Amino acid sequence: MRLDKLLGSQTDLSRKEARQVIKDGLVQVGDTVIRDPGASVDPETETVTVAGTPLVFKEHLYLMLNKPEGYISATEDRTQKTVLDLVPPELFRDGLFPAGRLDADTTGFVLLTDDGVFAHDILSPKHHVEKTYIATLAEPLTEECLEQVRGGIELKDGTVCLPAEVRALSEHEAELKLVEGKYHQVKRMFAAAGNRVVALRRTAVGDVPLDPSLAPGECRELRKEELFILKTRSK
Ligand code: URA
């Protein structure tokens, strides 16, 4: 891999900044200072240090974010804040994107990664990785509404949803587990059943719950065991 590409992907430096840092003589491969940004390096076998700090090579990055309201699930936007704006510099790298979308007013678990294959596997309904949501509803929940959602509800535009696991948590709160992610799906499911979602929170992806110690807006790397659970479930 090119040295500037490696630094761009493994640190918060942009490719341009990485090139400058290399030219400034701050980067060593083994014991040798390398000033050529295009030099080839094997991060699996060679030790790269930046200003004396060894680079810990990770092919991909997996972050759990507790999304607050007001951020869109995109990588960039001219006017609105995106979930990537919440990633602190020490966890940021090129190529990060949200694996799945939450509406701007939905809160909770967003997975950020630069691993496209993993994201596809997590999101594809074929892989049955459930996303768990808690929906707060304007009207009291009825048994009929729950049955409709369980059976695979037909949305107002005629789209039929897959059967979903759902249970009442209280008169105005339901927990749902969905394996698909249609546009505004939870809101449209309850709208089709004659109710209205007033707040929505994603609390888990697969069997990995949102870490309760993450304050809104905070993120952290997935732990090894969490990633293992998600990777084995999505196969
Ligand atoms: N369903 C919705 O309606 N909105 C979301 O953000 C996620 C699922």
Residue range 71-120, pLDDT digits in tens: 999 999 999 999 999 999 889 888 899 999 999 999 999 999 999 999 99
Closest ligand 1 atom to residue 188 Cα is: 3
Task: Give the whole-angstrom CA distance, residue 8 versus residue 69.
Answer: 30
Report residues of the chain scoring pLDDT below 50: none
d(CA 206, CA 168): 20
Q: How far apart are CA 185 and CA 3, in angstroms?
A: 43
CA angle 15, 16, 18 (to 5 degrees): 65
Query: What residues does CATH 3.10.290.10 cover in the chain?
Result: 3-54
For residue 73, the CA-to-ligand 1 centroid distance in Å is: 11
Tokens of 192: 């089709």
Q: Give the fold, CATH level 3, of 130-205.
A: Alpha-Beta Plaits (3.30.70)
Any idea which fold 62-125+208-233 has?
Alpha-Beta Plaits (3.30.70)
The pair phi, psi for residue 218, each rounded to 5°, is -95, 150
- Whose C-alpha lies nearest to ligand 1, atom 7? 102
The pLDDT of residue 162: 93
d(CA 101, ligand 1 centre) in Å: 8
Which of these is catalytic: 94, 103, 114, 207? 103
Residues of the chain with CATH 3.30.70.1560: 130-205
Helices assigned H by DSSP within 56-209: 116-123, 143-151, 185-192
List of E strands, 76-205? 97-98, 107-113, 131-137, 165-170, 173-178, 197-205
DSSP code of residue 31: T
Q: What's the pLDDT score for residue 82?
A: 98
Residues in the chain, overall count: 235
C-alpha–C-alpha distance, residues 134 and 169, integer Å? 9
Residue 10 has a pLDDT of: 87
Burial class from Cβ neighbours inside 10 Å (0-12, 13-18, 19+) for residue 60 reads: middle
pTM of the shown model: 0.88
Most ligand 1 atoms within 8 A of CB, residue of 65, 83, 102 to mutate: 102
Closest-CA residue, ligand 1 atom 3, reads 184
Active site includes 103? yes
* d(C-alpha 79, C-alpha 211), whole Å: 30
| CATH topology classification for 3-54 | 3.10.290
Q: Cα separation of 229 and 204, whole Å?
A: 12
Q: What is the rounded CA–CA span in Å between residue 21 and residue 4?
A: 9
Ligand 1: residues within 6 Å at CB? 102-103, 106, 184-187, 200
pLDDT on residue 235: 60
What is the location of CATH 3.30.70.580 in the chain? 62-125+208-233
